[in-house]
Amino acid sequence: MFRGASSFDRDISSWDTPAVVDMSRMFRGASSFNKDISSWDTSTVRYMDHISTAPPLSTKDISSWNTSAVVFMSYMYMFQGASAFDKDLSSWDTSA
């Protein structure tokens, strides 16, 4: 959705997201985006690969995201390029 949007930095925290199924590559290359989207309802998201390759999610606490429906996450690529990511995601349900 915001792939390559290098100057995008609007507040989208109030977006209604419970029907979203695919967040793949959503913020890939969106190097300026730095808003808090931790309140998003991610309970129906099935695809989260390559969601961020820059600061967007690397500085936010998204540990509260419901990941129980995610079937493709690929940790190897999910936060690719996020050199300072240090959040605890141990509460994420990755069983699917």
Task: Render pLDDT for 23-72 as a digit per residue (tens, 0 to 9).
Answer: 888 887 788 888 888 899 999 999 988 776 555 566 678 889 999 999 98
pTM, full prediction: 0.76
Q: Is 93 within the bounds of a domain?
A: no
Question: Which residue did the predictor score with more confidence, 89 or 19?
Answer: 19
Q: Is 46 within the bounds of a domain?
A: yes
pLDDT of residue 42: 94
Domain hosting residue 58, numbered range: 1-7+18-84
Distances (CA, A) of 29 to 47, 49, 81, 92: 18, 14, 10, 24
pLDDT of residue 44: 96
Q: Is 13 within the bounds of a domain?
A: no
Report the number of distinct structural domains present in the chain. Answer: 1
Other C-beta atoms lying within 10 Å of the C-beta of residue 77 = 17
Q: How confident is the model at residue 12 (pLDDT cuts 50, 70, 90)?
A: very high
Q: Is 52 within the bounds of a domain?
A: yes
